[in-house]
């Protein structure tokens, strides 16, 4: 599929437009990944593999062209991968993942850094969120490693296989599912605006660190803080979820909300009525879009809870499970896409929405599922991990961008039978010590739930004279 068949320049979808406009120097809309590789990487083969994979993902080879109020994707001529390679002796290959900003008016939305050692390498990848969502970015990396495996496999049976993505589907990436096209007709417009109005007019609680001393320069050198729960712990969490007739994601949400509550309950402004709004990305991929090239086929839903709702874990878990089901059946993700369309087409509404709602959410919670399933069944495996030619993918860490006033993001995924927890913190509000403490407390909370087969009770916020009546 070439660019003339895709009909470039290609207009930005509503989600792409919002992601592009929401980008700033301090809060770049960039998704970050860190991939640990076991084996001696053939750098030339990797560069060729990256080039071959980019050929099938046009949006990652485009810049944004603005003409008046129109924003369009425009392919660059003779695109080359933005890849920086360094060599390192010994086993200690640096794995820090720094904050990066990508200016889509001057460069494509994908950038890579390969740090290679004789036995271990680390690949850092950055993707602008206007180009691709997290799921699409992981699938792109799978395509890169598929190409690499074909070039370096010594045995034909070890050669990975992945179907070539279909870039002709890019024209459908921003569509709303059909069941939502009549959404406004089925409900009175006043009813339709209730949810958005509550979102714009309510104020979500803003988390901050506890350490007054912050070394911002050091903190910004690595934005990925990763912890791994072993297979045995994950299996116990799954057993707990089955016993409670919920999903493991529901249990993780309980732990995350309770961690936010415990972290903030001693602050001077803590009240029982504090609103914790958790943003959750949801894929809008229908079966006919599964083969689409790297793109945003995404929307958001919001779990909103008052602090006092987080005190009882059993009732909180039930409410989370019910609300999640309602969001899926009510197709709330498509509702947000229609709102983004309205924001885009009404002059001044984008700026007004940011003024009305400066905090998109208290925190972000993303679940990417089993990475092995995202890679597909075309890869050989070694102890549950993907093999790509002469290397083994030991782990992939990743996290999405942070918006202003949303200072914590958690991304969970399963790989090699382990639960990988990636936490990102805003270095302007969290020190390194804060980030380490918050992460260790959350991990301990998850481990305790798995080991005890119980949902721990949360502590009440410390009452202040002005809020005693409210807490009784």
| CA-atom Rg of the chain in angstroms | 22
Extract the tokens encoding 183. Answer: 């959404």
The pLDDT value recorded for residue 282 is 93
346/423 same-domain check: yes
- Identify how many contiguous H helices and E strands the chain contains and give both numbers: 17, 16
CA dihedral 2, 107, 136, 115 (to 10 degrees): 120
Phi, psi of 170, rounded to the nearest 5 degrees = -60, -25
The shares of helix, strand and coil residues in the chain, as percent rounded to the nearest 5, are 40, 25, 35
Residues 139 and 197 in one domain: no
- Exposed, middle or buried by CB within 10 Å (0-12, 13-18, 19+), for 438? buried
CA 247 from centroid of its chain's CA atoms? 19
Which residue, 112, 145, 172, sits at the end of a domain? Answer: 172
Same structural domain for residues 331 and 429?
yes
188 shares its domain with 231: yes
Task: Read off the pLDDT of each residue in 175-191 and give the average, rounded to a whole number.
Answer: 53
304 and 423 in a single domain? The answer is: yes
Q: Residue 90: which CATH number? A: 3.30.559.10
Domain-embedded: residue 360: yes
Q: Specify the pLDDT at position 260.
A: 97
pLDDT of residue 327: 83
| DSSP letter assigned to residue 328 | H
Tell me how many domains the chain contains: 2
Question: Domain range for residue 281?
Answer: 184-372+402-471
Task: Please give the average per-residue pLDDT across 128-136, as a whole number.
Answer: 97
Q: Hey, CA dihedral for 378, 384, 388, 389, is it positive or negative?
A: negative
Residue 251 · residue 450 · CB < 8 Å: no
Other C-beta atoms within 10 Å of 186: how many? 10
383 in a structural domain: no
- Sign for the CA dihedral angle at 442, 250, 280, 35 comes to positive
Domain end call among 172, 194, 221 = 172
74: Cα separation from own chain's centroid: 26
Q: Report pLDDT for 458.
A: 61
Q: Would you say 379 and 386 are in contact if contact means Cβ atoms under 8 Å apart?
A: yes
Question: Cα(164)–Cα(132) distance, rounded to whole angstroms?
Answer: 17
**pLDDT tens track for 60-103:** 999 999 988 899 999 998 888 999 999 999 888 999 999 999 99
Q: Would residue 178 count as lying in a domain?
A: no
Q: Tens of pLDDT along 294-352?
A: 999 999 999 999 999 999 999 999 999 999 888 877 778 887 888 888 888 888 877 87
Specify whether the CB–CB gap between 11 and 82 falls below 8 A.
no
For residues 126 and 263, state if they share a domain: no
Q: Is residue 238 part of a domain?
A: yes
Q: Indicate the DSSP class of residue 267.
A: S
Q: What is the pLDDT of residues 185-228, one digit of tens each?
A: 455 555 555 656 666 667 889 999 876 555 544 555 789 999 99
Does residue 6 contact residue 170 with C-beta atoms inside 8 Å?
A: yes
Sorting pLDDT into bands at 50, 70 and 90, what band is 4?
very low
Give the chain's mean pLDDT.
Answer: 88
Residue 358 located in a structural domain:
yes
**How confident is the model at residue 5, as a pLDDT?**
65
**Rounded Cα distance, 19 and 28, in Å:** 10
- Taking a C-beta distance cutoff of 8 angstroms, is the pair 385, 198 a contact? no
Contact status, residue 57 vs residue 137, Cβ threshold 8 Å = no
Mean pLDDT of 157-161: 87
30 belongs to a structural domain: yes
The fraction of the chain above a pLDDT of 90, given in percent, is 69
CATH of residue 408's domain is 3.30.559.30
Give the residue from 139, 73, 150, 82 showing the smallest Cα distance to 113. 82
Residue 462: phi and psi, rounded to 5, are: -65, 120
Comparing 113 with 349, which gets the higher pLDDT? 113
Do residues 144 and 151 lie in contact, with contact meaning Cβ atoms separated by under 8 Å? no
Whether pLDDT at 392 is above 90: yes
Question: CA nearest 34: which of 106, 118, 109, 93?
Answer: 93
Q: How confident is the model at residue 408 (pLDDT cuts 50, 70, 90)?
A: very high
**Measured between alpha carbons, how far is 11 from 15 in angstroms, rounded to an integer?**
11
pLDDT band at 470 (very low <50, low <70, confident <90, very high): very low
Are residues 203 and 162 part of one domain? Answer: no
Residue 388 in domain: no
Sheet holding 62-67, edge to edge: 10-11, 70-75, 62-67
User: Which of the listed residues 148, 172, 196 is the one where a domain comes to its end?
Assistant: 172
Q: Which residues contact 441 (CB under 8 A, 6 or more apart)?
A: 259, 262, 263
pLDDT tens digits for range 271-300: 999 999 999 999 999 999 999 999 999 999
Q: Are residues 263 and 314 in the same domain?
A: yes
In a domain, 378, yes or no: no
Same domain, 107 and 188: no
Contact criterion met (CB below 8 Å) for 145 and 45: no
Q: What is the dihedral of CA 208, 209, 213, 218, to 10 degrees?
A: -100
pLDDT at site 193 = 59
User: What pTM value is reported for the model?
Assistant: 0.91
């Amino acid at each position: 599929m070439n660019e003339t068949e895709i009909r470039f320049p290609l207009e930005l979808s509503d989600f792409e437009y919002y992601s592009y406009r929401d980008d700033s120097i301090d809060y770049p809309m960039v998704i970050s990944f860190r991939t640990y590789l076991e084996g001696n990487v053939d750098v030339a083969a990797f560069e060729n593999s990256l080039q071959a994979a980019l050929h099938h993902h046009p949006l990652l080879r485009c810049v944004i062209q603005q003409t008046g109020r129109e924003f369009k994707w425009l392919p660059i001529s003779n695109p080359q991968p933005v890849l920086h390679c360094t060599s390192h002796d010994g086993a200690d290959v640096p794995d820090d993942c720094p904050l990066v900003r990508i200016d889509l008016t001057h460069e494509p939305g994908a950038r890579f850094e390969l740090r290679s050692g004789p036995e271990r390498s680390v690949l850092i990848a950055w993707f602008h969120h206007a180009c691709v969502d997290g799921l699409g970015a992981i699938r792109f990396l799978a395509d890169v490693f598929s190409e690499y495996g074909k070039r370096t496999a010594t045995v034909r049976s070890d050669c990975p296989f992945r179907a070539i993505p279909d870039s002709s589907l890019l024209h459908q990436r921003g569509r709303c599912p059909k069941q939502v096209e009549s959404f406004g007709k089925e409900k009175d417009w006043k009813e339709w605006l209730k949810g958005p109005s509550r979102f714009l007019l309510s104020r979500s609680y803003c988390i901050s660190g506890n350490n007054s001393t912050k070394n911002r320069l050091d903190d910004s050198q690595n934005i990925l803080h990763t912890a791994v729960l072993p297979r045995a712990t994950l299996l116990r969490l799954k057993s707990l979820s089955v016993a409670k007739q919920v999903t493991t994601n529901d249990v993780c949400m309980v732990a995350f909300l309770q961690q936010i509550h415990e972290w903030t309950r001693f602050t001077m402004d803590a009240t029982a009525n504090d609103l914790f709004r958790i943003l959750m990305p949801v894929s809008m991929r229908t079966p006919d879009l599964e083969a689409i090239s790297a793109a945003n086929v995404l929307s958001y839903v919001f779990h909103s809870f008052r602090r006092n709702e987080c005190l009882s874990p059993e009732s909180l878990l039930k409410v989370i499970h019910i609300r999640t089901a309602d969001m899926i059946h009510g197709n709330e993700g498509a509702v947000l896409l229609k709102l983004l369309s309205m924001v885009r087409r009404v002059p001044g509404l984008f700026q007004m929405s940011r003024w009305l709602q400066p905090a998109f959410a208290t925190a972000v919670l993303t679940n990417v599922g089993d990475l092995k399933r995202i890679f597909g069944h075309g890869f050989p495996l070694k102890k549950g991990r993907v093999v790509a030619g002469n290397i083994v993918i030991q782990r992939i860490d990743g996290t999405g961008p942070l918006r202003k006033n949303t200072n914590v993001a958690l991304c969970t995924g399963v790989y090699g039978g382990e639960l990988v927890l990636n936490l990102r913190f805003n270095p302007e509000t969290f020190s390194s010590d804060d980030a380490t403490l918050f992460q260790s407390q959350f991990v301990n909370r998850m481990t305790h739930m798995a080991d005890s087969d119980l949902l721990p009770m949360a502590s009440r916020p410390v009452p202040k004279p002005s809020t005693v009546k409210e807490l009784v």
